[in-house]
Amino acid sequence: MTIRIGIIGYGNLGRGIETAIANNKDMKLVAVFTRRNPNSIQLLTPTIPVVSASTVLEWKDKIDVLVLAGGSATDLPFQTPTYAEHFNVIDTFDTHKNIPMHLTTVDKIAKENHHLAIISIGWDPGVFSLFRLLGNVFLPKGNDYTFWGKGVSQGHSDAIRRIPGVKDAKQYTCPIQKALEAVRNGKSPVLTTREKHTRECFVVLKENADAAQIEKQIKNMPNYFDEYETTVHFISQEEFNKNHQGLAHGGFVFRTGTTGINKQHHQIMELQLTLDSNPEFTAHVAIAYARALMKLNKEGVTGCKTIFDIAPSYLSPVSKEELIKDLL
C-alpha cells in the first residue's frame, strides 16, 4: 500500500516533510499546497506539482493524508478543523496549553465527517510527551522535568515573525545549566518555568518599525514568552543571514522518583534528543504517524487522536511479527 500525502505549506517544516516522504518507501508525495504564488516555489523534488491552497478540495480523491505544515500561533487553530472536514489530517500544533481545546474542536468536526486527525505530533509535544507519560506510570512517586535547547524553536520564531513590523526572526530556547544538572544529579528541585529556561530572540525589523513596541509585544506574548526571561536583539538582515540560518535543537526529559516500601531507592529516567535539523526530525515523526493514521482509518477509527492513543506497532511499515523478531 502506498500512502498518498499532500502538504499544506512549504516553509522549513514543509520542506522537512518532503524529505521525510522521500525516506519512506511506502509514501508518495502527491502535491504541495501554498498560499504564495505557486510559481515562486521550487521543490526539492521538482516533478511534484505546487498548487494554490485554494484548490485543495479538488484533490480530495487523490490524497490519503494531508499533513499541515503551518504555524501554531495563527494557522493550525483554523486550518486543522477546516481541513479535517474534508481529509484525514496530521498537524504539529505545539501550543501546549491550548491542545485540549484544539483536540475538542478537531475531534467534533472529524467525527461528523468520518475522518481521522492526529494532532500535536513532533518531539514536544510528541515524543517527549510519550516519555513523560511512561515516566509517570513507571515511577508514580516522582517529578517531571523537561528542558529544551539550546536550539531554534520554530513555533516561537514563527510567532515573532507574525508581529507587524517584523521582517525576520529566530528564537533560541536555552536551558539553565544549573537547574538541569541539579535534576540529573537526583536533587529533585522545585523549579518554576523561569528557573528552567531563558529565551533569546534575534529580530530583523521592517523599515520604520517601532522597536520598543515590538520588544514589548514579544516579551508579553502569552503562551510563548510571558513566563520566561526573554532577551530581544535587533540586528541587520546581513547579520541574520550570516549567523542565524541553522535549525538545530534538542532537549532532555527527566522523571526522577523513588521506589521501595520505604522509598529508599532513587531512580532517574532520562531521554535526550540532539537534532541537527529540528524541522526534519519533526517531519519524520509526523510521517510515521501518517502511516499509523492510515492503519487506524482502515479499521474505521474517526475523530481526533494524540500520540497517547497510538500503538507503537502502527508506526512501522513492517509486520508485527518482524517487529517482535527484530526489535523486542
Q: Residue 73: pLDDT above 90?
A: no
**Rounded to two decimals, what is the model's pTM?**
0.91
Surface-to-core class of residue 108, CB atoms within 10 Å of its CB (0-12 exposed, 13-18 middle, 19+ buried): middle
Cα 10 to Cα 29: distance, rounded to the nearest angstrom: 13
Give the model's pLDDT for residue 154. Answer: 85
Give whole-number Cα distances, 203 to 72, 114, 171, 213, in Å: 19, 43, 9, 13
**CATH 3.40.50.720 assigned to 3-124+279-327:** yes
Q: Tell me which amino acid residue 17 is.
A: I
The residue-averaged pLDDT of 135-144 equals 97
Range with lowest mean pLDDT among 56-65, 183-192, 235-244, 280-289: 183-192
Q: Residue 155: pLDDT above 90?
A: no
Give the model's pLDDT for residue 326. Answer: 98
Give the model's pLDDT for residue 76. Answer: 97
pLDDT tens-digit series, residues 211-264: 999 999 999 999 899 999 999 999 999 999 999 999 999 999 999 999 999 999
Nearest CA-CA partner of 305 in 126, 183, 156, 43: 126
Cα 308 to Cα 301: distance, rounded to the nearest angstrom: 15
Average pLDDT, the chain: 96
CATH of 142-262, one of 3.30.360.10, 3.40.630.10, 3.40.50.720, 3.10.20.30: 3.30.360.10
Give the model's pLDDT for residue 280. Answer: 97
Give the model's pLDDT for residue 1. Answer: 83
Cα 193 to Cα 316: distance, rounded to the nearest angstrom: 36
Residues recorded for the chain: 328
Domain ranges of the chain: 3-124+279-327, 142-262
Strands 142-148 and 151-152: unpaired
Three-state SS at 282: helix
Q: Tell me which amino acid residue 81 is.
A: P
Cα 52 to Cα 38: distance, rounded to the nearest angstrom: 6
